Amino acid sequence: MIGEQYTGIITGFKSALAVICIAVSLFLLSPWIAYARLPSSLKSPIEAKGPLSALRACLNEIATGAKTSTRGYELYSKNGQSFAMLNMNFRPQVILPPEHVRWLVTQPEDILSHAKASDDADALGYIWPLFDASALHSFSKVLQNDLTRNVTQTERDVLEEVQHIMDELVGQTECWKEVNMVQVFERIMYQATQRVYVGLPLCRDTTYMGYVKGYAHSLGTAMVLAAQLTPWPLRQVTALLAGLPVYYYVLQVRSYLSPLFKERMKRLKAKEGTKDNLKGEPRNLITWMSNGVLSGIGPKSVSPSEMVTWLGILALLPTDNLWTTCTNVLLDLLSSESEHAYLHTIREEAKTVFASSKESGKPVSHGLHHIDSAIRESLRMNSLSPRSLHRQVVRRGGVVLPDGQKVPTGTWLCVLSGNIQRDEDYYEDAQAYKPFRFVPKLVESGSDKAPLLPLTNEKYLTFGYGRHACPGRWFSFQVMKIVIAYILVNYDIQPLEKRPDNIVFADLNIPHLSHIIRIKRMA
């Protein structure tokens, strides 16, 4: 009897071991299996001649991805050819050359899907298994319409928050003070945008703001871990584990915002049928999203808790990009100041614009051409992500690329936006930092109502391009211009001897978090 029990245990152990061995083998073979689906005629800068070399290429991508993709850009993209790359997530990606950008963004959704690529690239469906991606895409219209349309009306609120924070962090005395640049910009950007999203007094509530930052940081971390750094067979497990802090913070944020949404929707619903149902309501994103729901945007049945989730993804999460960009802009300017009077030119223009705005009532941000150009240039030089315009082939039978290569269903496509924006074929002295590079075009295209120079085109892809470009790009850009203008007009900052290198990790390119600058209030 005992012998039979031992025999059963041993048999079960052998079966389990066999299953584990098969699972591990399939896991290790998965990058090669996916790579082998691509046409053999498709070029690649990596050596992936078998399962082990494909696995090694995926693992090397985390450290050498930018170098490898740049080599592919020089070898193939510059010659109008597509090429293949392997990623840390074990899924290959086909990189299209710059000439194919317009073709890529004009393909119908049932051929090349932006939604499918975004959902996969963000891993939101894995972090939140019941996540409604279609509702999120619907609510992006609120950013495109209401938030963008009300940009000029929110300037005063943003300026008030910047002044409030700078007075608190730096003080009003004319003495030099050392501050952490990242911490200053992070505080400003979160609080200033929250002033527009939820209004006073909540945007100055330290407990609430702590939850907002925790939510944005934890969600961003979970997305990077699950989407970029985890092989796709393990993505669901990683997403659920990395999402645990997200669930905690979203519950805390909901405890503050759900009652606001509920109360705002109740008031707006009572005003339905009136000439102006928004009259007397706070000009913030809570109001505009609530009005959007009542106007039929998104699903027919929606709860305040769900609205908080969408607000978090659409508005709170991108805030980290704002302070990252502002840090890059100031680092670029401060490290170039010894040779050029960039700060003086920007400061004098901003002083003039602030003074004229008080008299005319025109928006400050519309006249800040030199700051506008400096932000564009820093984004050109320091792309937050080296790849953009992600699409997934969804057409049955695959699709033929403009260069004749046929790729199967499920293939990821994109372009190397970082390399395009540093290409001498498209920008004169492309490797040189020229903060006023875009000023002539800004002045030429400007008007009394708003600057008309687009933030996106086929060779400037920081905010995407085409119908799926970042919906909140104008608002984000205006906020950054106002913040930098206020700081440079009211504060003196000591130049840097050298531009500190950014942290480049996988597809991330961000400044170090410990930059200390010396700053004082100007007389």
Question: Which of 75, 102, 122 marks a domain boundary?
Answer: 122
- Considering the domain architecture, whether residues 326 and 262 belong to the same structural domain is answered as yes
Distance from C-alpha of 158 to C-alpha of 142, rounded to nearest angstrom:
20
Same domain, 339 and 445: yes
Which of 122, 148, 180 lies at the terminal end of a domain, its last residue? Answer: 122
Closest C-alpha among 324, 341, 339 to residue 379: 324
Quick one: 167 and 66 in the same domain?
A: no
- pLDDT tens, position by position, 431-465: 999 999 998 887 776 555 555 567 788 999 988 88
Higher pLDDT, 426 or 308: 426
Indicate if 146 and 197 belong to the same structural domain.
Answer: yes
Q: How confident is the model at residue 121 (pLDDT cuts 50, 70, 90)?
A: confident
Q: How many residues does the chain have?
A: 523
pLDDT attached to residue 16: 58
**Whole-number pLDDT of residue 4:** 58
Q: Is 61 found in the same domain as 43?
A: yes
State the Cα–Cα distance between residues 18 and 420, nearest whole angstrom. 48
400 within some domain: no
User: What mean pLDDT is predicted for residues 416-440?
Assistant: 93
Kindly state whether residues 350 and 449 are assigned to the same domain: yes
Q: How far is CA 437 from CA 2, 377, 478, in A?
A: 84, 7, 19
Considering the domain boundaries, does residue 76 fall inside one?
yes
203 annotated binding-site participant: no
Query: Residue 42's domain spans which residues?
Result: 2-122
Number of domains making up the chain: 2
Q: Are residues 280 and 337 in the same domain?
A: yes
Q: Do 212 and 280 fall within a single domain?
A: yes
CATH number of the domain within which 324 lies: 1.10.630.10
Say whether both 76 and 223 belong to one domain. Answer: no
Ramachandran bin of 33, using left for φ above 0, alpha for ψ from -120 to 50, beta for the remaining angles: alpha
> What backbone torsions phi and psi does residue 492 show, to the nearest 5 degrees?
-100, 135
Q: Are 216 and 317 in contact (CB under 8 A)?
A: yes
Position 413 confidence tier, pLDDT thresholds 50, 70, 90: very high
Q: Are residues 261 and 153 located together in one domain of the fold?
A: yes
Note whether residue 18 is domain-resident: yes
Instruction: Round to whole Å and give the CA distance between 183 and 103.
Output: 41
Determine, yes or no, domain membership for 195.
yes
| Six token digits for residue 228 | 């970029």
Do 97 and 146 reside in the same domain of the chain?
A: no
Domain-located, residue 115: yes
Q: Looking at 96, 122, 148, which one is the last position of a domain?
A: 122
Max mean pLDDT among 20-34, 394-408, 492-506 falls in 394-408
Enclosing H/E stretch for 216: helix 206-227
